[in-house]
Amino acid sequence: MDTKTNYWNGIDKIQYVGHQDKKSSFGFQYYNPEEVIAGKKMKDWLRFSVAYWHTFDQRLVDPFGDGTAQRPYDNYTDPMDLALAKVDAAFEFYDKLGVDYLCFHDRDLAPEGDTLRQTNANLDKVVDKIVEYQKTTGMKVLWNTSNMFSNPRFVDGAATSPFADVFAYSAAQLKHSLEIGKRVGSENYVFWGGREGYESLWNTNMKQEQEHAAKLFHLAKDYANEIGFDAQMMLEPKPKEPTTHQYDFDAATTIAFMKEYDLDKDFKLNLEGNHANLAGHTYQHEIRVAREAGLLGSLDANQGDKLIGWDIDEFPSNLYATTAAMYEVIENGGIGPRGGLNFDAKPRRSSFEANDLFRSHIVGMDSFAAGLRIAAAMKEDGFLDNLKADRYSSYKSGIGADIESGKADLKSLEDYSLDKTQADLVGATHSDHLEQVKDTINHYIVETLSK
C-alpha cells in the first residue's frame, strides 16, 4: 500500500509552536499533545477526532448554493476509485495533523449499490483498506454510525418510519455497521436520529414511533453483545432539523426517553455544541445535564451562530464556550469513559481551499486546548469550587443539614419558619457578586493564555 501519498501539498506535520512564536498559520498555539495539564496529557484529555463526512466528503454546499470545495482528489470520476483515493488522503491528513481518532458513517466511505448486498460489498472494500492503514499507523476509530437519513427511503425516518420495510432495511443496514465497528475496533457507536421525529403531529403516532426507535436500539445492543463488539453506545440529541421536531430533542429529553425504555444502563450521550444552541441551551448546560446524570459519553465539537437558525457546523473558535465545556469535562474526570472531541464541523463556504481543512482543525484544536488550560487553572486555584462551597454552605449545619439528611419534614420546617421576619429571610440570602465572578473568569482567560 502506498503510504507516501502527497495529497496535501505544502503541508508538513503540524507542530506545537506556542503563542509567542506563532508566525505561520500552520502551527498549534495552545495544543501541546504531550504536555501534562491537570494530571493528564493534553491529548488524553482531548482525544481529537476528524469527522470523515465533513472533512473528506463535504463540498461546502448551503441551502442556496452548490459546493465550493477544492479537494486534492477531485479528478477521480469513478465513485469506487474516489472512495479508495479518499482513504489515502484521509490517512495522510490524520498523520500531518497529529490526531489519533476518526469517526465515520457507513455511507461516508463508499457509494451505495442497487441492493444492500452490493452496498455492503463496496463498503467492505473500503473498510479493508482502512483496517490495513490502522495496522501501520495505529489510528483508532472514536465512533462509527449508520447514515439512515440521506437516502430517499428514509423520507419519514428509519426506525420511526411508518413503513415496516424501511424499519427492516434500517435494521439490516445497522447490523452491517456494527460488524464494521467491530472490525475497525470502534470505541463507541453513535445513533443520531437523522429523521427520527415528525413534520406534523396530525398524521403521527408519536408513541408507536418512539417504541420503534427504542426497539432498534435494543436490537443493536443485543447484536453488538452477540458478536462481541463492546463499543459504548450513544444517542446524539438534536432538537430539530431536518424534521420540525426530533425525538432526541436535548440531553434531558433523551435521558427521560432512555429511562422510560430501559436504555440508560447501556447507552450514554454524544453532545454537540450547535445542537445545544438550537435547543435553546448552551453546550455547557447539555454537558452538565449529562454528567450529573452519569451519562456523558462523548462530544461533537462545533459551534453555531445565534444569527443563523440552522446547523452550520462551524469549527469551534469561541474560547468562552470551550472553557465552559472543558470545565465540565474536568469536573467529570474526562470526557466520558471512552469519549473524545469529534470535529463535526466544516470550514465556511468561502474558505474552500484544500489546506483550509488544516487551518480549521488547528483553530478547533487550539480553542479546546486553550479551554482546557483555562479551566484547569481555575480548578487548580479552587476558584469555582470555593465559590460554590460558600454559596451552599447553609446546608452544612442547622436546618440545612436537617433538610439534606431527610430529618426535616413540613411540620418541623413550619416550626422553624413561622416567626421569621422579612428581615430575617432577606438577611439569610447574600449577593453572589456574579459580575465579579465573570470578571475573574476573564482574568483567567487572559492570564492563562499569556503565560
How many CB atoms sit inside 10 A of residue 158's CB? Answer: 27
User: What is the torsion angle, in degrees rounded to the nearest 10, for the CA atoms of residue 380, residue 386, residue 389 and residue 394?
Assistant: 170
236 belongs to an annotated ligand binding site: yes
Q: In terms of CB distance, is 100 or 272 closer to ligand XLS?
A: 272
- Residue 167 binding partner per list ligand XLS, Ni ion, none, with a CB distance cut-off of 5 to 8 Å that depends on partner kind: none
230 belongs to an annotated ligand binding site: no
Which residue is associated with the grid cell 470555593?
Answer: 386
The kind and range of the H/E element at 252 are helix 251-260
Beta carbons of 248 and 196 less than 8 angstroms apart:
yes
Q: Are strands 36-37 and 40-41 parallel, antiparallel or unpaired?
A: antiparallel
44 belongs to an annotated ligand binding site: no
Provide the 8-state DSSP code for 57. Answer: I
Residue 300 found at the interface with Ni ion (CB under 5 A): yes
- Residue 325 binding partner per list Ni ion, ligand XLS, none, with a CB distance cut-off of 5 to 8 Å that depends on partner kind: none
Confirm whether 105 is a catalytic residue.
Answer: yes
Cell representation of residue 155: 423520507
- Residue 145 binding partner per list Ni ion, ligand XLS, none, with a CB distance cut-off of 5 to 8 Å that depends on partner kind: ligand XLS
Please choose, out of 61-69, 198-206, 272-280, 427-435, the segment that lies near Ni ion by the rule CB under 5 A: 272-280
Confirm whether 361 is a catalytic residue.
Answer: no
User: What distance in Å separates the CA atoms of residue 43 and residue 76, rounded to the nearest whole number?
Assistant: 35
Residue 286 found at the interface with Ni ion (CB under 5 A): no
Q: In terms of CB distance, is 176 or 238 closer to ligand XLS?
A: 238
414 belongs to an annotated ligand binding site: no
112 belongs to an annotated ligand binding site: no
Please choose, out of 122-130, 152-160, 300-308, 386-394, the segment that lies near Ni ion by the rule CB under 5 A: 300-308
Catalytic residue among 88, 108, 250, 356: 108
User: What distance in Å separates the CA atoms of residue 342 and residue 187, rounded to the nearest whole number?
Assistant: 13
Binding site for ligand XLS (CB under 6 A): 105, 145, 190, 192, 236, 238, 272, 300, 311, 344
Q: In terms of CB distance, is 32 or 254 closer to ligand XLS?
A: 254
Beta carbons of 45 and 328 less than 8 angstroms apart:
no
User: What distance in Å separates the CA atoms of residue 356 and residue 362, rounded to the nearest whole number?
Assistant: 10
313 belongs to an annotated ligand binding site: yes
Q: Which residues of 351-364 are buried (b: 16+ CB within 10 A; e: fewer)?
A: ebebebbbebbbbb
Least Å distance, CB 259 to Ni ion, is 23
Least Å distance, CB 311 to Ni ion, is 5
Q: In terms of CB distance, is 40 or 240 closer to Ni ion?
A: 240
C-alpha closest to that of 162 among 113, 206, 224, 104: 206
Residue 248 found at the interface with Ni ion (CB under 5 A): no
Catalytic residue among 57, 88, 100, 105: 105
Q: Binding residue for Ni ion (CB under 5 A) from 92, 344, 356, 366?
A: 344
C-alpha closest to that of 293 among 251, 339, 235, 323: 251
Mapped onto helix, strand or coil, the DSSP state of residue 349 is coil
Active site members: 105, 108
Annotated binding site for Mg(2+): 236, 272, 275, 300, 311, 313, 344
Binding site for Ni ion (CB under 5 A): 272, 300, 311, 344
